[in-house]
Amino acid sequence: MNVFWFIPTHGDSRYLGTAEGARAVTHDYIKQIAVAADTLGYDGVLLPTGRSCEDAWVAAASLIDATKRLKFLVAVRPGLTAPTLSARMAATFDRLSNGRLLINVVTGGDPVEQANDGIFGTHAERYEISDEFLKIWRSVLTKTHTGGETDFDGKHLQVKGAKALYPPVQAPYPPLYFGGSSPEAIDLAAEQCDVYLTWGEPPAAVAEKIARVRERAARAGRTLRFGIRLHVIVRETTDAAWRAADELISRVDDDAIAKAQANFARMDSEGQRRMAALHGGRRDKLEVSPNLWAGVGLVRNGAGTALVGDGPTVAARIKEYAELGIDTFVMSGYPHLEESYRFAELVFPLLPRNVQEKLSGAALSGPLGEIIGNTDVPKAANAQPDVALSASQS
């Protein structure tokens, strides 16, 4: 099981839909989150992409030296950059980070935003471009290891003698992550990507989607891994978690929700349509599956659901998704700095051992926690007997 966190380069807050309790996207702040994720034992972080975000590549590159083993899931946008330039950028980042790059392929689902970037193709055409983009991108990076060149003459993209001179650390190239719910998206994932990402739909819907992707990949002679993108609201008790969920949307008004839903409705993303259908813009139908809450999606596009509960409940829900075949969980919570700690403290100890071993204290000898009364070591989670400190240790 791999657990990722999220770098909120589009802003962060204690309350959705308002500037109250909001935080500016400064380098200091995103570095705090990245260092926290690295220290706490998260496997990686996702950086979002789009006009509402600081640039993912620049932000991620600025965090390489601040972290030690954290991986960065960074977006490529077919149609927005040339595949050869994107391949060279990926190789450089992978080399400078010593193999810590993961690629999130994003075709885009908002025609208005696409037009802002000079992209006017239909939904089907964007996936045709993405298909050709990835064929060139993969070929160029694969051939860096042997010194070969790539020729490609497609419907939308053409290159002749394309090559990159510096190979990525990860061979043949950094793993490709991709999410999408349309038939074109599933075809693209099955044929060219390594990890299929879904947004946090109820388990039955996720199971059905995984089955479709697996069947399509099998026809292409391939197997994929699976991941899921979820928010999380975890507290010491389930009642406290649900109160926190209500608090998160307590400042957003109905006009803001209506405006957001109207913006989402114009998109041609099947995944966004499925997210919006979970709640229909209504506040009174937000628990769409046990402990799966769609309140985030009232005003946020993309991933719009959160797991809500105490540590054991959230861990149990994660394990339910894991039983469907998901091995990568990309989590987030508001505000992202504090919630990275809360999730690690309350949920990590309940997840498989390979996650627990990455906790910052796992390799340390000596006491964990504040010394009690200047003499006594705090009890461990398994309630081992107290060990008194000698005078020389105090």
> Per-residue pLDDT tens for 225-241?
999 999 999 999 999 99
Alpha-carbon span 376 to 92, nearest angstrom:
50
Domain assignment present for residue 215? The answer is yes
Q: Is the pLDDT of residue 172 over 90?
A: yes
- Specify if 106 maps to a domain: no
* 248-to-34, 198, 299, 334 alpha-carbon distances in Å: 23, 23, 11, 8
Is 261 contained in some domain?
yes
104: which strand partners? 75, 177
Q: Quick check: 353 pLDDT over 70?
A: no
Instruction: Specify the amino acid at residue 122.
Output: T
From the number of C-beta atoms within 10 Å of its C-beta (0-12, 13-18, 19+), residue 390 rates as: exposed
Percentage of the chain surpassing pLDDT 90? 69
Write the CATH number for 41.
Answer: 3.20.20.30
Residue 150 resides in a domain? no
Query: In the predicted model, what is the mean pLDDT of residues 64-86?
Result: 96
Phi-psi region of 247 (alpha: psi -120 to 50; beta: other; left: phi over 0): alpha
For helices 311-323 and 336-346, what crossing angle results, to 10°? Answer: 80
Query: Quick one: pLDDT band at residue 369, thresholds 50, 70, 90?
Result: confident
What SS3 state is found at 90?
helix
Residues 304, 261: contact at Cβ < 8 Å? Answer: no
Would you give the distance in Å from CA 285 to the centre of its chain?
Answer: 25
**How many domains does the chain fold into?**
1
- Cα separation, 56 vs 23, in Å, equals 18
| Nearest in space to 199 (alpha carbons), one of 313, 275, 295 | 275
Distance CA 201, CA 181 (A): 11
Q: At what angle do helices 183-192 and 123-143 cross, to 10 degrees?
A: 10
Q: Is residue 147 part of a domain?
A: no
Task: Give the pLDDT band (50/70/90) at residue 284.
Answer: confident
Q: Which residues of 157-179 are buried (b: 16+ CB within 10 A; e: fewer)?
A: bebeebbbeebbebeebbebbbb
Within-domain flag for 265:
yes
Q: What is the pTM of this model?
A: 0.89
The residue range of the domain holding 276 is 2-76+175-356
Asked whether residue 91 is domain-assigned, the answer is: no
CA distance 37 to 43: 8
